[in-house]
Each structure stands twice: as structure tokens, then as C-alpha cells.
């Protein structure tokens, strides 16, 4: 069985990369993903490729705690209906239940488990089967999310934090986020907290429900260019000049904005055509990669790679 994740889990990847001076398109290209993949939140990515992207973000930025910092940028408001359901939950226990059900919809091959004893509760996260790529960065981001859930009670939260990976060379950043009581090489990735928190009401404050900042302009530009390509390809070949005109930009301005994303216009157009062709061909060819590749070459004259 193949395990995977939806791209929506990396909702703050683009602002994180841009804030660190990195081009999202180039980071995606390093792991063999289309340079606009992060713009499709419903897309499924195989687990190993998903973790490879997280690790590529860490490598590109030189940030050994990329998972933590991306997790800190996320807001419950960003998750729309899911986030609103969490914020409207009557107790922490209910909110954790919502989070568990949501997780089952956006990733496969993982498990979130809440266990309780007399004084403490454990909220743990684990992978089923082998991960291939090192999941340490992603796990740290997951535990940041757990910590944010607990913080909705408005009470002091985490007692202990456990990681199943090896200790970091420098744990100062982990201690800043999770506190000093850290355990490594543990049997599970978990946050341990006072059991009484589970039945406390949540603090639905304005700070929690604050509006998100505007999405990076580069992201909106790439989205607009892709939308225009979809519209134009029905009757003509899109060009940099025609796309710029539709967006109300000078061609050189559009060129600079796409460069900050990390993809030239022609490359974005080629990728869009390839993706669209595969979407049209795949239902006719079944699920055989060889058959899909042959059909793709027949229609486009190009390889799928």
C-alpha cells in the first residue's frame, strides 16, 4: 500500500521560502515536482516525495528546524472550515477528535493517538511502515501543531515532549518551542500534558481568530498566470506578453515576478501543458505508467519526464 499526503499540509511553505530568500519553484524542481505543485492544495503526494520536499526546504534555507518554523507560521484560521470547527469545539478533547478525523482525510499511513492515565495524557503521532526519507523535520512540525491545540485552553500545557529521532546537535530551538523536558530516541513522537486539560473549554480569543496576512504576491501572480493559461489554451497559445496584458502588468514585470518564484514563463507553460495532457490521457490509458507515457508521447511529442 502506498502512503501519501495532501499538499494543503504545507500551506505556509511558500511564505516561509520567500521570507528566507528562496524560490519555491526551484526547491520543488530539486525533488522532481512541478514548480506549481504547492498551488494545488488538493494534490496528493507520495509520502517519500512529500518528506523529501520538507527536507529540501530545510536544505535550501540552511534551517535545521524548518519544520518548527513552518509550523509556527500556521494558523487555525488558515485551515478554514477545519480550523473553525476546532476553535468552536467545547473542550480540548473534542478539538483533538476533530484534528484526528481531519488528519485521516489529508494523509494516509499515519496515526494520531490520545491515551490517558491517572494524571497525564499523551497525544502521539506515528508513521505506519517505512518512511524512506528522514521524517524528523516533519515530525517537529506536527508536534508544534499539537502544542497549538493544547494552548487553546489558555493554560500551561506541555509537560514532556518525546521524539523518536536522534538528538539534535543544538537543542536550543527545540527548548524555546517545547520547553526543556525533551526526550529523544523515544518509542513515540508525543506531547505529554496534564490530563485535566482535556475537559477544559477552549479560549476562543481574537488573537486566535485573527485574520491571516495576505498571501505572497508571487503566489497570486503564478496562480493568475496558470488560470490564464487554462483559459487561453482553448483557442490560442499563451505568451508572456498576452498573459502580462491580462494581468495588467508589463511583460518585464511579470518576468521578474515569475523569476522570484523560480520558473520562467515558458517552463511554466510546458509544465502546465504536460500536466493537462496527462489529466486528459490518464482516464483513457488506465493506470499503467508505460501506457500513459506512450499515449503522452503520441499526443504531445514529448516525454512525461
**For the ranges 29-38, 70-79, 284-293, the one whose mean pLDDT is highest:** 29-38
* Whole-number pLDDT of residue 305: 46
* 300 or 161, greater pLDDT: 161
Per the CB < 8 A criterion, the answer to whether 137 and 70 are in contact is no
pLDDT higher at 298 or 16: 16
Each residue of 180-198: pLDDT tens digit? Answer: 899 999 989 999 999 999 9
pTM of the model: 0.78
pLDDT tens, 216-226?
Answer: 577 888 888 88
Q: 300 or 250: which carries more pLDDT confidence?
A: 250
Q: What is the pLDDT of residues 163-178, one digit of tens each?
A: 998 887 778 889 999 9
Tell me the backbone φ, ψ of residue 15, rounded to 5 degrees.
-60, -35
Question: What pLDDT does 101 receive?
Answer: 87
Q: What's CA 102's distance to the chain center, in Å?
A: 14
| Tens-digit pLDDT profile for residues 222-258 | 888 888 888 888 778 889 998 888 777 788 888 888 8
pLDDT tier, 274 (very low <50, low <70, confident <90, very high otherwise): confident
Give the pLDDT of residue 52: 96
**Whole-number pLDDT of residue 281:** 59
Helix axes 66-73, 47-61, angle to 10 degrees: 100
User: Given a cut of 60, is residue 14 above it in pLDDT?
Assistant: yes
Fill in the DSSP letter of residue 216: P
CA–CA gap between residue 109 and residue 127 (Å, rounded): 6
CB contact set of 231 (below 8 Å; sequence gap of 6+)? none
Q: Do residues 143 and 178 lie in contact, with contact meaning Cβ atoms separated by under 8 Å?
A: yes
83-107 tens-digit pLDDT: 778 888 889 999 999 888 888 888 9
CA 164 to CA 136: how far, in whole Å?
8
Amino acid at each position: 500500500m502506498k502512503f501519501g499526503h495532501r499538499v494543503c499540509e504545507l500551506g505556509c511553505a511558500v511564505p516561509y521560502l520567500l521570507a528566507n530568500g528562496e524560490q519555491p519553484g526551484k526547491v520543488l524542481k530539486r525533488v522532481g515536482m512541478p514548480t506549481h505543485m504547492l498551488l494545488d492544495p488538493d494534490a496528493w503526494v507520495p509520502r517519500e516525495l512529500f518528506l523529501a520536499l520538507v527536507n529540501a526546504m530545510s536544505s535550501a534555507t540552511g534551517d535545521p528546524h524548518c519544520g518548527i518554523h513552518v509550523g509556527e507560521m500556521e494558523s487555525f484560521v488558515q485551515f478554514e472550515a477545519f480550523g473553525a470547527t476546532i476553535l468552536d469545539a467545547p473542550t480540548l478533547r473534542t478539538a483533538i477528535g476533530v484534528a484526528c478525523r481531519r488528519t485521516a482525510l489529508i494523509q494516509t499511513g499515519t496515526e494520531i493517538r490520545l491515551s490517558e492515565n491517572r494524571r497525564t495524557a499523551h497525544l502521539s503521532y506515528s508513521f505506519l511502515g517505512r518512511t524512506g526519507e528522514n521524517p524528523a523535520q516533519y515530525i517537529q512540525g506536527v508536534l508544534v501543531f499539537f502544542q497549538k491545540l493544547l494552548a487553546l485552553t489558555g493554560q500551561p500545557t506541555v509537560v514532556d515532549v518525546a521524539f523518536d529521532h536522534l538528538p539534535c546537535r543544538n537543542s536550543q530551538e527545540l527548548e524555546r518551542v517545547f520547553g526543556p523536558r525533551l526526550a529523544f530516541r523515544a518509542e513515540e513522537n508525543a506531547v505529554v500534558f496534564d490530563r485535566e486539560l482535556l475537559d477544559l473549554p477552549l479560549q476562543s480569543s481574537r488573537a486566535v481568530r485573527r485574520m491571516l496576512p495576505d498571501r505572497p504576491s508571487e503566489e497570486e501572480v503564478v496562480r493568475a498566470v496558470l488560470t490564464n493559461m487554462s483559459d487561453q489554451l482553448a483557442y490560442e497559445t499563451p505568451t508572456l506578453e498576452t498573459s502580462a496584458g491580462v494581468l495588467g502588468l508589463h511583460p518585464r514585470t511579470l518576468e521578474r515576478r515569475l523569476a522570484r518564484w523560480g520558473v520562467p514563463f515558458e517552463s511554466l507553460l510546458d509544465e502546465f501543458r504536460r500536466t493537462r495532457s496527462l489529466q486528459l490521457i490518464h482516464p483513457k490509458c488506465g493506470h499503467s505508467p508505460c501506457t500513459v507515457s506512450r499515449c503522452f508521447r503520441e499526443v504531445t511529442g514529448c516525454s512525461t519526464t
